[in-house]
Structures are given as structure tokens and as C-alpha cells.
Chains A and B, each alone.
Chain A
Amino acid sequence: MKKTTITLLAALSLTSTLSFADYPTKDIQGMIQWGAGGSTDTVMRSIAPHVEKELGADLILTNKTGGVGAIATKYVNAKKADGYTLLMGAENPQMYKILGLSNIDYSDMIAINVLARGTPIIVANNDAPFNTMQEFIDYTKANPGKVKIGSTGKGGLTSIVLAMLDSQVKLDYISIPYNGDGPALTAVQGGAIDVMPAVLGATIEQIKAGRMKAISLVDVKANKLLPNVAPITDALPGMKSYLPWGPFFGVFVKKGTPDDAVEKLQAAFQKAAFNPDFVDLMQKRGFTIMNISGEEANYFLEAYRSTSSWLVHDAGFSKFSPEKFGIRKP
């Protein structure tokens, strides 16, 4: 009995490896870099059903957290390059090399789709004695070492926005690190910190409800969700060279995946990201839909990596110089 099962199994595995033309022949596993309930998780879970419909196969989504996403990245790259294991991640891997977290970033993988981009925004506690970027800068200069700014660890959105700011104007403030932007934004409301740079989508509902105030949008032009908030370039025109810049969400596979599988995945994700439900969802949260793949995606990823890497390097908290990895200066 055992023998026949083994032969059956062998036959099955053989047919499936031979019939790549029919990709996908089995469930596809999607490894999400961040935990359940986070924004990466939410975006991936809302696009997955549309992709399943396009591919005609099940996507099994698994959260594999840790090491700012490096553990999931490593896991996907340790699997077979057969298109059955996807990495669903955010922008973090682009900083791995210079922060010494991993020697794999998105340039070592194939981009299936860069789905959307977020816009950073600087918010403040309602009682903070400033309402605009200029007032914030003036107040912080007049009261050195008084303003408490929340942050979310090196290489995260907050640290890069603060590095941008630092390149324009030297401010003396207290930096209080939080474990993710959720807890930090709660701390803004409770008054434990005064100011926090975060992604627009995470703050929009709170701003609309008047529970915190928007100081400045880290972009070159105002956003239609918050038309009254001035872009940061009004107060600091020098920021133009970095912007628009923002965290993004993307889907990737290991290098060496058969072209057929890559093409099918790219087509499926592209169609899914055009789904009106998905587009509507993303826009409501202030995300800009990108839906790019191939050359276009590579260009975007490279631009992100070079801006952020050099910013972080110049701000002095990189472990290695971007030059070491051939990351060109922006």
C-alpha cells in the first residue's frame, strides 16, 4: 500500500513540475512582512481576493514578522524560485543594506507589482502651541529641548522625514521612540508626545475628527483629502529635492522565477489593483495608487532606495555607506 502511494506522489510531483505552462497548479503562499492588523497586512488582504479571482488559485496569506521584515524576506529567498511563494512587503527592505540588516533588498528580487504609495504628514497634539510648519520651527528654536517628537526606529518613515528636516533646519528636540506608528499616534492624542511624522492614511480619520492637528504635508502639493494643509515646501523649499517621497507596498518574488509565472502574476496583480473596490479603498486612506511593474517599478524602487539611503547616511545613522552597494547619489 505504501509503495503505491509513494509512486502516486512521485507521479504527481513530476507532472506538476513539468506542467509549468499551467501555472498556477497549486495554492500560492503570500508572506506578509508585518503583523495582522497593520497597514501592509490590510492592503494585502484587501487585494488578495481580487488576485485569486484572476489567477484561479488560492492565495494563502501568512504573517511572518520580525527584523523589520527581514525575516520574511529571507524566508521567501530561501524557497524555490517557482512563483509559489510571494513576498508582500513595505518599503523597509530598501534600507536593509545600509543599516546592515540583510544583504537582500528589492533590487535582488523581481517586482510583481508596486501597488501604492503613502504620503507622509506631520501631526501634532491639539494643545501644541503651533499650527503650521513655520510656527513649529520657530517654537522649537525658541524652546530648545522642549518639544517631544515620536519616532519609530531607525530607517522607518519617521526617521527619514526627520532626516530630511534635519538637512534643512537644525532643531533641538526630544526624540521618543515607539514600537510602530499606532502606539505613537495614540501618544500624540494623549499628550505623551507633541509631534509625530506619520503616513497620511494612519492619521486621516483622527485629523478629520479633530483629535490631532495636521502641521504640514510632506509633499510638494496639497492633498485633496486635506486641502487646507500646506505642503512642507511652502516653509522649506529646499525639501523639493527629496519629494515626492513616501512609503510603499509591493509584491515580490525570488529572482530566477520562470518568466511564465512572473508574467501571470504581474497580469493578475495589475488587473486586481485596477479593481474599483480596491482603488476606492486605497484612495479613502490617502494612498496614491501606483500599480506598476517591470522597468517602471524598478525605476521607482531604485529612486526610493537612493534618496532614503543617502538621507539616512548623511544623518549619520547608517551602518554602511550606500556607496558600498553601488547605490548612486540622488
Chain B
Amino acid sequence: MSSHPPLVQTRKPGESSFCFLLVMGSLYLFWQAYKISGFSELSSPGAFPLAASATMVLASCIVFINTLKRPAAEGVRFVYHCFPPIVATIMALILIYSVVLESLGFILSSFAFLFITIQFLYRRSVLTTLSITLLALVVVYTVFRLVFQVVLPEGIVPEREILSSIKSLWR
């Protein structure tokens, strides 16, 4: 993709293992595709997945071999250049967020997620973070839940009751 410098002839740390994993994954998917209907008819449900996964196996092997041929890049460390702690932290936060989203409900979990990540990445006063978080949450909730009627996970907040009691006040 364009957002990255064009491929250099060196090998980034982790690249060969990644490509190796792709070969292994492709082989596994090929096996799974084979299990759908074997090498039976050309019109069987498994024919197309077999062709696609065979292509994956082939292409990933070529990539893997080509990668091995390249010299390893110097002065590039996996932990620093490829997978820095900040990426790992944010990934973990997103993971926690999506795990608790259903049980805690959209409002509470999103509030916590936004507050923590903005505080962590933006590093301003708590008040600034709090107001940005609330503003964003109100906008997203209004657009998705109220305008487009996407019933977001309610979790422990009885949203529909609150909404209808607000509506009845208004009526």
C-alpha cells in the first residue's frame, strides 16, 4: 500500500516467520477446502475454495522463498519498529473493549474505552478528555441509536426504559 515506503530488498524482523505462518495457514485452509467435497465434481461446493486455497499455497510459498533470499535488515528491531509497545497496548485495550461491550453495554464500555485511550494517547487534562469523550459519545449514540435505530448492546443500562420515560415526559 501507498502508505509505506516501497519494498526494500531487505527482510524486516519477523517477516520470514510471518510468511512461514501464511504458508502453514494456507495449507490448513487447503485441507479444510478439501474436506468440503474432496476432488469430486467441478460444480461441487468445494471446487472454488480448493482453487482459491491452492493459489494461496502456491503464492505464499513463492513469497516465503523470495523473502528468505533477502538479507535481513540491519538496525531494525521487531519490538521497536514492527510491533512497538504502544500498538500492543492499544490492541489490548480494543480487545478488552469488545469483550465487555455486550455485557456492560455500549454506553459504559465505550465511555471507558474512549476516556482511557484518549487520556493515554493525547495526554491532556482529565477535564479536556472527559469533555471530548462525552461529546463523541453523544454524537455517536444519537446518529446510530436514535436516528438509524441500530439497537446497540444495552448491557446493564436499561436504555429503552430511560428513552421511553423521556419520551413520555415529552408527550
Contact = CB atoms under 8 A, between A and B. Distances in A.
- Touching in the complex, A and B, CB below 8 A? yes
Interface of A: 9, 12-13, 15-16, 25-27, 29, 57, 60, 62, 84
A164 B119 CA distance: 66
B151 A12 contact: no
A9 B160 CA distance: 11
Given A60-B149, A60-B151, A12 B160 contact: no
A29 B151 contact: yes
B149 A12 contact: no
A290 B163 CA distance: 35
B165 interface: yes
| Chain B binding surface, main DSSP class | helix
Nearest to A62: B151
Given A12-B158, A26-B160, A27-B164, 4 more contacts: A16-B158, A26-B163, A57-B164, A62-B150
Interface of B: 149-151, 157-158, 160-165
Given A60-B149, A60-B151, A62-B151, A13 B164 contact: no
A182 B165 CA distance: 43
B160 A84 contact: yes
Contacts of A27: 160, 163-164
B149 A16 contact: no
Nearest to B159: A26
12 contacts: A9-B162, A12-B161, A12-B162, A13-B161, A16-B161, A25-B161, A25-B164, A26-B160, A26-B164, A27-B163, A29-B151, A62-B150
A84 B151 CA distance: 12
A13 B154 CA distance: 12
B161 A26 contact: yes
A29 B149 CA distance: 10
A321 B120 CA distance: 59
Contacts of A57: 164
A60 B145 CA distance: 11
A26 B162 CA distance: 9
Nearest to B150: A62
A9 B157 contact: yes
A78 B151 CA distance: 16
Contacts of B151: 29, 60, 62
Contacts of B158: 9, 12-13, 16
| 4 A-B pairs with the lowest CB-CB distances in the bound complex, closest first | A26-B160, A13-B158, A26-B164, A16-B161
A314 B163 CA distance: 52
A244 to B, nearest CB: 34
B158 to A, nearest CB: 4
Contacts of B149: 60, 62
A263 B131 CA distance: 46
Contacts of A62: 149-151
A62 B152 CA distance: 12
Nearest to A176: B43
Contacts of A26: 160-161, 163-164
Contacts of A60: 149, 151
B48 to A, nearest CB: 14
Nearest to A8: B162
Contacts of A25: 161, 164
Contacts of B160: 26-27, 84
A26 B164 CA distance: 5
A16 B157 CA distance: 13
A19 to B, nearest CB: 10
A60 B163 CA distance: 13
B30 to A, nearest CB: 25
Q: Which of B160, B162, B164, B165 has most chain A Cβ within 10 Å?
A: B160
Contacts of B162: 9, 12
A60 B147 CA distance: 11
A27 B158 CA distance: 12
A29 B150 CA distance: 10
A75 B158 CA distance: 19
Contacts of B165: 12
A178 to B, nearest CB: 14
A16 B164 CA distance: 10
B141 to A, nearest CB: 15
A313 to B, nearest CB: 22
B146 to A, nearest CB: 11
Contacts of A12: 158, 161-162, 165
A29 B154 CA distance: 13
